[in-house]
Amino acid sequence: MKKAITIFAILVTTSTAMAQVTIDEIQKVQQLWGKGKKALSMDLLKIEGPQQEAFGKVFDSYLVDRQKLGMQRVALIDDLGKNVGALDDAKAKTLVNGFFGNNIKLQKLQRKYFKKFSKVLSPARAAQWAQLESYLDNVVRSEMQDLVPFIEPGKLKKK
């Protein structure tokens, strides 16, 4: 699992990789990653019997919505990678606000789906899903953060 996370992070965070990786390839990786997350979720949450189908439908819908936010985040990371050596104040502000907005959208999406999962599972089991989702997001972000160049002091261009 950690290897898949690292591969995904590498594909979506380096400028040179982004130049070689198409949107279709990123979407395919997202789909594979989503299928793995779905199977992992069902296994760890011990979702069986009639709940599998209901959970699967909600999870599939969540993945579609989640992937849109993931593509937005990939675009922001790519933009940062391409501009990190020559950021000016305006671009830095735009990028940071983009990341903040993406985080807020993700939290709203997860809250929306927590309610949906609560209906097909239970609030306690939906909380397990939310905890697992948060854990996986944090692992991916941590891996990705290691690959994103740090904005060095003094390298920001002022207008």
CB 136 within 8 A of CB 151: no
Query: Tens-of-pLDDT digits for all 159 residues of the chain?
Result: 555 555 555 554 444 444 455 666 666 666 667 677 888 888 888 988 889 999 999 999 999 999 899 889 888 988 888 888 888 889 989 999 999 999 999 999 999 999 999 999 999 999 999 999 999 888 888 887 777 777 776 666 665
Q: How do the domains of the chain map onto residue ranges? A: 2-147
Closest CA to 87 of 151, 150, 154, 156: 156
Q: What is the torsional sign of CA 15, 17, 34, 67?
A: positive
Q: Which residues contact 73 (CB under 8 A, 6 or more apart)?
A: 99, 102
Rg (CA), the chain: 17
pTM for the model: 0.76
Provide the 3-class DSSP secondary structure of residue 151.
Answer: coil
| 56: Cβ contacts below 8 Å, ≥ 6 apart | 38, 42
